[in-house]
Structure 1
Amino acid sequence: MLFRRHVPRTGSRRSRFLAGVTAAFLAAAGSLIALPGTAHAANLVANPGFESGSLSGWSCSGGSVVSSPVHGGTKALAGAVSSSDTAQCTQTVSVQPNTAYSLSGWVRGAYVYLGVTGGASTWTPSAASYTQLTVPFTTGASQTSVQIYVHGWYAQGTYNADDISLDGPGGGGGGDTQAPTAPSGLTSTGKTSSSVSLSWNAATDNTGVTSYDVYRGSTLATTVTGTSATVTGLAASTAYTFTVKARDAAGNTSAASNAVSVTTSAGGGGGTGFKQAAPYLYLGWGDPPSPSTVMSATGIKWFTMAFILSSGGCNPAWDGSRPLTGGTDQSTINAIRAAGGDIVPSIGGWSGNKLGPNCSTPEALAGAYQKVIDAYGLKAIDVDIENTDEFESEVVQDRVLNALKIVKQNNPGIRTIITFGTSTTGPSYWGNRLVERANALGANIDVFTIMPFDFGGGADMYGNTVNAAEGLKAKLKSTFGWDDATAYAHLGISGMNGLSDQQETTTPAIWTQIRDWANSHHIARLAYWSVNRDRPCPGGGVTSNCSGINQSTWQFTSITAGFTG
């Protein structure tokens, strides 16, 4: 393939995205049915049929108990889906490690989902009457609880759910019902503009405490095994209240600790202080130019160098074949640094054998990232997460985010960037999930960068790029609780100069508009694909070494160099 590209899987309407992923979801559902069966036991779900007349036992973002329509009994859940809320209801259930379970439930409505957070799930695109969904799964080697969920889909109308069952042996290791004591002495040990560090005294339990749940207000922020934690993704100059609860192996939960209130530090405009103008440079094709020549002509200081792939298993290499050190890539990096610049590697991309699916655990993937960091003493890394093998995989998405979390912990001061496709109005389902999971996992990502091209942009590439960026900003605000300034300061744009694969045209004038918008909103990062193509060839079509339009040599790079954030 000539270009790093992402086939448009989204349009300006969510319904277009949903139609585009139906086959993938149905295939996933089919594979779930093939899992082994479970040992039968009493239903482990509290208030499974909502017969209490309330949402007792469930935590719901939107919904109520109704008397009609029902599947069994006299009550059912009605999920009040809106254009911005899937009306998800969750419940945490104690389970046993290394054990097979079966989650099932009866649902009614369009695009209703049933699953286990961070694990297996299934869905129905349309159920005019109650339809049973079933999700078999097996717990991990040390897993003692699962969070089950049911939800609808944005703007698809109210859904119903009833008679939800988790079938399998209950957790508790012999019927332990004694909760741990409440943790004590909760205090703040440090803070930044986007994080708060906490510590507390250990709780006690008759069988032993296995973990601690840290709450930001009523929201579960993180779970740890020790007596300290750092809550990330917070807004600058904002007051937060934290509590901690202890859990044992049986899933018994203590009362809350004392509450501590902390106001985060001022953020210097709401952000991380990280600004990067870094167009892509690819040594794999397209007559790669001398970076020092480009730097001298344009004033650019950073390049995003593509692509780090797998050379087999969990081993990083340039394009999956060229070594990290001792080759042309290292000599190019040395030349850029000698000219006063620096690079951020792009790990992944649309095609090729990628590290995310090949590294079996977050720890292994973090180790692969670390090899790249150590090879060049990097200040930042970018994971370009695309295609069905990485972006559209729940397992790999979570693996990438957890690996980047480890990288941040092991490399103080390093900046982490994650780059992904978009619709013209903001993140797709998978983009929204990526942002949500980054928050839930405490990944502490510095910059979420969208690629507004090959996305159905049509003639108005400026307007649709801005709309896509505003959609991401709104998602960051709602997910992390940030204000506008903080959300913009965690946002990046990576465009495509000249003609895109879909014949979308970004002229130098349009790119200047985008650059000026990026500066006026103080976003974190501006990039484009690619410096190799930053040369004129009007009427040349979509090719690797020129833009296909009339422009000056290195004109897009010169414009990008004017990005200051």
Structure 2
Amino acid sequence: GTGTTDVSTWTPGGDSWQQLTTSFTTGPDTTSVTVYTHGWYGQSAYYVDDLDVRGPDGGGGTDPVEIPAVPSGLAAGAVTASSVDLSWTPVADATGYTVYRDGTKVASVAGAATTVTGLSADTAYSFQVSASNAAGESARSGAVSARTATSGGGGGGTVPAHALTGYWQNFDNGATVQKLRDVSGQYDIIAVSFADATTTPGQIAFHLDPAVGYASAADFKGDIAAKHAAGKAVVLSVGGEKGSVSVSSDASATAFADSAYALMQEYGFDGVDIDLENGL
């Protein structure tokens, strides 16, 4: 079966389980081997509890996926009256993270940062995060506490008598391309344009255009968090000249609300701007 000389191993019986090992080298055309387990001449039969055949990972196989490590470095950043920015150290082999608020799951994100929204003003919260991949979810990290700002604070507080808003373009249309961090501090509300319609009626998504120069989604989320820290609001704009989202049934309305809220949780958007050039 090995394509070369077959080998064997023998250890005299004992009163307890023993581990037997042997090795062999496959031939150039070998695709399978047969392993025999049996007693020796004149000896009684014995039982095999487990059989493990291992080889070097040189034939195109992959190591089994293991549950990622527990995230570390969880820290709270900028807060408003209704949100808290969180960040943590990325975990190797993790494909996503789950954020918990006071023991309840509140967000699932791909990167190592998020903004938890929908909070009450002047309230203390406890946050934890876990890492996950195809093998499962890690244990939760140590908790970090944060208190939201009072209702008079920026972002989620009282509406000012006057506010300056403008659109940040997530595309290159010939105007100066800039990152969110480059938007003038004179703007109080920044509308990120635009969300994308999906094939599911009412559902929206958001995809960073490589043309704007962000290295990762986490880099973009960091800019949103920085704007929050400066007392600015960042909302996601839906619609525009070419964007059309159909909300014509209960199911599509639910899909719109759920997907909009999920994007707010993932990126830290403060809300949604409806740009009715094509209807909704």
TM-score (structure 1 length as normaliser): 0.22
With a CA cutoff of 8 Å and minimum separation of 6, indicate the structure with the bigger relative contact order.
2
Give the structure with the higher percent strand. Answer: 1
TM-score (structure 2 length as normaliser): 0.42
Q: Which has the larger radius of gyration?
A: 2
Give the structure with the higher percent helix. Answer: 1
